[in-house]
Every structure is written in structure tokens, then in C-alpha cells.
Chains A and B, each alone.
Chain A
Amino acid sequence: MTDAPRNRQRRAFMRNSLLSIPAVSVGSSLAFRASAAAPEAPPLHDYYPTFFTSEEWQFILSATDLLIPADDTGPGALDAHVPVFIDRELAGGYGQAEHWYMQGPFRTDAPAEMGYQLPHTPAAVYRLGIRATDAHCRRHFSKPFAALDKATRTEVLSALEKGTPDFNALGIANLPSSTFFAFLLQNTREGFLSDPIHGGNRHMVGWKMLGFTGARASFREWVDQYDQPYPLGPVSLNGERG
């Protein structure tokens, strides 16, 4: 991310627009400082997306915040830096479908059991999916997704999940809205629950929510301690302890 274009205007814009997200989501991360001296990731509003444009970034911030909100159960996707994770994944090999078989012909109407058959890389799924969702929101609510109130955003995400918005009618071919949603949800969960080395799960908040141990990876003496909650918190690949 160090090689991302440094654009002051853009930075100011992002910081401002991040503030429009309910304060509780962002603020609650303060309560989850790491106990060990791990290198501190910059706060979310100082992050320059490598893959996403500023409009797309607004979408990702506001969508992931609803998919995994900060609430009574604990910190949410923004605290965990899920948007950073998704940005890094899409800018890297995963986003480019580096290892996937992407030769045609593409049978985009194939039955779901045949698995992924679209011509889009994951990066393209996001680019097109966000554009189509924002177009859908503008058409129905006169604003892009990120500018909608929480109830309406929730409604839009539910509709995407069910696949009701017809992206084709909005000029985006070969992308069912439910497919876009499935990528978004899967990658959001990954960003919440994968090792912090990948940019998300900051201070291992996702793991702590579950009681998952991270990279501890040594439990021989615990195998036969039945029904005992494991007493130690997680560790990350970089040695951060929680």
C-alpha cells in the first residue's frame, strides 16, 4: 500500500465520508487494543485503497459494516479492517483470478451446480457489482448505496442476497446480483476471521469473538480435557497475542 498514489484531496474525502458511518462501529475498536507490541496498523481512515476507487470504497465501508456490525457481541467488520483485507485481496492474485481457469467459452446460464462459470475475475465482480448496486440505489432511492440510511441499506443488501435486483437491466451483463453478494459476504467473513497478516481481523477481534486460538497450533495436552474452555487467547502469525 506504500506505493498507492498519495492524494491529499482523496484522503480528506475518505476521512470525511467515513465519519458518516455510525460512530459506534468505528469507535468501538478503541476498546480492543492489542496486549502485545505488534506493529500498529494505521487507522482505517488513513488507509489508501489500492484497488477500490473512492466511490467503491464508500460502498465497501458501508456494506461490510452492515454484514458484520459492531454490536453487543463485539467489534465489527470496520474494527477488524475488513475493507482493507478486501482491497488487498482484490489488488493481489485472488482479485486477478491468478490461478483460476478463465478460458472461454463461458456458459453464464449454466446451472448453479456447475460452479462458477462467469467471465469475471473477483476484481471485476466487485467493480461491476458495486456499479450496478449504486445504479439500482440511485434509480430507487435517488442516492448511491453509501449515502442511504441504515434501514434502506439493509433492505438493499437483503435484496442482493435474494438476487432480486436485475443487474442486466442496469446495463451490467452476466452478473446475478446474488453472485456479487455471495462474493461480498464470503470475503467479508474471510477478512473478519483470517490471520491479521492479510490485512483484516485487526487485533484478532474476529477470533476473540469465537474463542479461536489463531496460530497457536499445539494442543497435545488439551486433547482429553473434555468440555473445558481453552484458557489462552489467540496468537497471530506475526506473534501478536490477544
Chain B
Amino acid sequence: MVFKVIKMALEISKALNREIENTLKKYPNKEAALLPLLHLLQKEFGYVKKEVMELAAERLDVPYSKVKGVATFYTMYDKKPVGKYHLQICRNISCSLRGAEDVLNSVKEHLNMEVGDTNEKFTLSTVECLGACGTGPVMQVNDDYYEELTPESVKKILDSLK
């Protein structure tokens, strides 16, 4: 197997490299792999920093400006460092009818944080509809959904995140 050496500040592990190679195989051209590649790199390096975008540009042979444009367009790519747990509370219609605001207030109070704040452990955000409206209010924490939240249950969930 050819293992392409990339002269970059960021080190790509063999396992990650294999995942990237597999991703590239899904598409007829390299550029199409940009979204999945940014997902993979964000997972590995924490957030989509400049070096991550440079790496993606080099790997896919696309201009850096293009990568930056794409990374900025999509909300799931974090352009700033986030806490270990990224709390994302849905603020849209169905959740809000079921008390999402109370849930959010409970989180703010419990963690002493405002929306947009980051500390080592948590980042607190509000997000748009998560596609789980029947089990609202909903909060996404990293890859996991927590559903049917109440101001009380959400505190227990927060306490369980170590």
C-alpha cells in the first residue's frame, strides 16, 4: 500500500489515512470527498483550524479558498475549539412548544454558562431542528441525541458526562 507522506504540521495516523483512502473510493473525483474528509479531520484534530483546511486542500488538490468557503458554509464544522462535550440544544418550533427554552435555561443555570460559551468541558450552543421533533425537546451532545428532555432530566445528563 502506498502511504503518501504529507509535509504538514498535522500528522495523519495510518488508520485515518486508510479511512481517507476508503472515502475517496466512493466518488468519481477527489473534490467530492471534501465534506466527509472535513468530518474525519475534525474528529481527529478537534476543530477545523487553518492547518486542517490546508491539509484538506492539499489532499484533494483543491484551492485552500474553496475549502475555507465550504468549511464556513456548513454549521457542523467548528471553526473554533470546542469543549469535550458540545451541547447543542434545538430551539426550533416543535421543541420550543414542548419547553426547549426551560431546558436551555436549566442548562445555563446548572453550568453557569451562556449560549456561545466554551470551557474545557463544555461548549453550549443552540441549533436548528435536529429532525427528532416527536421526541422533543432534543439536545445533541457530540454524536449522541438526548430526547424528551425536561429541565430536571437534562441536569442528570450533564452530571453523567465525565
Q: Do A and B bind each other?
A: no
Which A residues are closer than 8 A to B by beta carbons?
A: none
